[in-house]
Structure 1
Amino acid sequence: MKKNVFKITIIALCLATATACNANSKSKNQNSSIVETKLETKLNTKNPEIKVALLLDTSNSMDGLIDQAKAQLWEIVNELSYAKCEEKSPNLKIALYEYGNDNLNADEGYLRQVIAFSDDLDEISKALFSLTTNGGNEYCGKVLKTALNQLDWGDNKDDLKLIFIAGNEPYTQGQVNYKEASKLAHQNDVTVNTIFCGDYNQGISSYWKDGADLTHGDYMAINHNKATVHIASPYDDKILELNEKLNKTYVAYGKTGRAKMELQAEQDSNARGYNKANAVSRTVSKSSRLYKNSSWDLVDAEKEDNFSYDDLKEEELPKELKGKSKDEIKSYIEKKRKERGKFQQAIAELNIKRRDYISKKSADKSNGLENAMVKAIKTQALQKNYKWE
């Protein structure tokens, strides 16, 4: 009997390996590591993840870079929401580090983990808007090594694991050699992409290209002081109207529910602070599968496997559900779910028209950070059989 169980386990493992999204491993060592794993097939049964660690220079000269990151976040998220890995839709996790800011701890190399890998898009937006510039001392090797050691990169071979580091000082500064960090990236199956904020050839001479080449990443140079291009469309007003309706489908609960709903409104406001088109991009993100709020919203929470109405406490319910029976709460949540689905569908349909309008309106929507990141992600994703809808 034990022998039969062992044979079945091996067969299942081989089948899972054969049908994995990343059928073409990068090396023989990677192939052998898959065969030898004792994790059975659990990692292959869930959706793969796109993990992006963004390492931003926040020294004095980088105000334009930070502004681009804030203004272009939602378009980047939207592009990633269209990704497919075989028949699966990858999840997205983003981490953020700042470095090169004199306000940061010198003993730690003037760097800070602003947020670890997270799929909470509102928290990621909040983290970006917390950044300010000052100073500094930019140690690329140090921040790379720190991000590689601190973050949970996982060992799923179907995950797309990427670092984007942006700055404008020599890549060689600091006591940690960038080549050492590059070796660590290889060990974690992480691709490092470098974005030099300035002249292309200057970035080459200051080793930013070499930093990318060592991990088979992309080297890019951008004008970080260029204003973000936002193109208005005839569908924007309607999408923003739907955003207001979408917000009313959230049912905050628990200790953090009210604060999270306020955070949602705050990030709506931050997006509008740039202009209407940016707020539209955020609304599109909020209507996508990547916008998840199960930690505080009952409509999202109900879809989780470990959710139970029996676990809900009266004091954690919103005012409109206090004193209600379990059946009444279920009915209320189902109503909100149907409303949300209707609004999300309407936004998605309008966004198709919006994207078509923008593509015809502008032959060159050259947003530096956004274009650099999306191009690199799509190119490198092909190696793991990711495709875009």
Structure 2
Amino acid sequence: MKKFNILFITLGAYFCFVIANNIYAKANIKNGEIIDNKLPENIAQIQNNVTDNQPKIQVAILLDSSNSMDGLIEQTRTQIWSVINAVSKVRKNGKIPVFQVSLYHYGNNSLPSAEGFNRMLNELSTDLDKVSENLFSIQTNGGQEYAGWVINSAVNELKWSNNPQDFRVIFIAGNEPFDQGTVDWKKAINSATQKDIIVNTIYCGESENTESNLWAMGASQGKGNFFNLNQDEKVVVIPTPYDGEIARLNQELNDTYIPYGNQGRASFERQQAQDMNAFSSPNPSAGLARSEAKATSSYRNSSWDLVDGVAENGVDLNSVDKTTLPENLRSLSSAEIRKIVDEMMLKREQIKAKIAELAQKRLDYIAKNTPKDNIQATLDRLMIDSLYKQLEAKGFQIQR
């Protein structure tokens, strides 16, 4: 009990450090077309420069957000970081891939019926804090679950890579008949396979019925995997002796970020808010998994963080608008700012190394203390197992 009390005190202290402003962003839809809130041109260019010469892993997650799907949404919110951690172990010919995630929700009465009750919440993006923010913005509401329609939307609306060496996949999850709606699911999935997009299906209902068979047929036609998920199963969490220190180091990691540019402050606040969302979720391990993910190569913030911007894109400090920097840096020269950036860069790498070491110890501890007959078929486990097999089939390597 003493260890647990120390853990809870540490996490409580952590929350005191974090100031969060939840910012919910929704794509605008007009006349059936999605009009996303576009990034300023200079930031979009930075993101393009980061990803041009690296292999890509592109994942679209399509979630049923009708009334009965609260368990699915909660599992996705809390377990997405475990998936990100797993993807960070993937390489292609020695190169670290760029990991991009898009998020849709569908089957929700708050969405227009003329658009199939579905909505893109974000494009394929490396901004994982934005993905998390959008996950927490979803509110379940009754509606018609048109799987074919939302698959078709994702296939045709997203900017999928044309490089045959890159990896493209859709995960669609729901619990209603797969053939609802006026868009033929077979044609939608055929459109996906023509673009070399794998379609994996996750059915959140009884495993043996006509509906589950349709979901399995969807995965088969999409050259993917079919899974059955008990979305309401309580996830077993095993506390470890390393949890409190990982949480503390996460706050130290945040202190190395230097927001800049038009989106800098808002993105920095989003980072803090998503820490709060993860650490205050019903699953105590969510915040720890997020902390570990922030120490991996999948967590990229060069579009708004000066440290990443200099390291990844060689941002010219002479061209940075100093009015967008933290107040204590605005009066400094470019040389003085560069010195601080270099100090934060070194400090960040040291913290990341410590988190990575503790994360492995935490993983080993959990594996040692999990009964072999108690391995759960959770959303993250299903997604990771599927991704690893499909990525290896595509020529990617997993650093196990």
State which of 358, 372, 381 in structure 2 corresponds to 1:350. 358
Task: Please give the secondary structure, in 1, of the residue aligned with 2:203.
Answer: strand
Moved more, 95-104 or 79-88: 79-88
- Match of 2:198? 191
Question: Is contact 2:177-2:211 (8 Å) kept?
Answer: no
Unpaired runs of 5+ residues, structure 1, are 1-41
1:220-239 aligned at under 5 Å gives the runs 220-239=227-246
State which structure, 1 or 2, has the greater radius of gyration over its C-alpha atoms.
1
1:254-293 aligned at under 5 Å gives the runs 254-274=261-281, 275-293=283-301
Tell me the TM-score normalised to structure 1 length. Answer: 0.86
Task: Please give the secondary structure, in 2, of the residue aligned with 1:171.
Answer: coil
CA distance in structure 1 between the partners assigned to 2:322 and 2:183 by the alignment:
53
Moved more, 299-308 or 106-115: 299-308
Question: Is contact 2:127-2:300 (8 Å) kept?
Answer: yes
Letter of the structure 2 residue corresponding to residue 322 of structure 1: R
State which of 365, 377, 387 in structure 2 corresponds to 1:377. 387
Matched, 1:108 2:101: no
Deviation at 1:193, TM superposition (A): 0.5
Q: Please give the per-residue CA displacement for 1:136-170, whole angstroms capped at 9, x wherever unaligned.
A: 10111111001100001111112111100101111
- Match of 1:294? 302
1:105-254 aligned at under 5 Å gives the runs 105-202=112-209, 206-254=213-261
Matched, 1:84 2:94: no
Question: Is contact 1:253-1:297 (8 Å) kept?
Answer: yes
Q: 1:219 to 1:367 in 2, by over 3 A?
A: closer
Unpaired runs of 5+ residues, structure 2, are 1-48
CA distance in structure 1 between the partners assigned to 2:218 and 2:269 by the alignment:
41
Letter of the structure 1 residue corresponding to residue 395 of structure 2: N
State which of 313, 319, 330 in structure 2 corresponds to 1:311. 319
Letter of the structure 2 residue corresponding to residue 329 of structure 1: I
Deviation at 1:317, TM superposition (A): 2.2
CA distance in structure 2 between the partners assigned to 1:51 and 1:86 by the alignment:
18
CA distance in structure 1 between the partners assigned to 2:277 and 2:325 by the alignment:
28
Tell me the TM-score normalised to structure 2 length. Answer: 0.84
Percentage of matched positions with identical amino acids:
40
Task: Please give the secondary structure, in 1, of the residue aligned with 2:233.
Answer: coil
What is the number of residues matched between the two proteins? 348
CA distance in structure 1 between the partners assigned to 2:212 and 2:160 by the alignment:
31
Question: Is contact 1:74-1:278 (8 Å) kept?
Answer: yes
Q: 1:147 to 1:111 in 2, by over 3 A?
A: same
Q: Please give the per-residue CA displacement for 1:204-243, whole angstroms capped at 9, x wherever unaligned.
A: 6551111111121101111011123332211111111111
State which of 388, 392, 397 in structure 2 corresponds to 1:387. 397
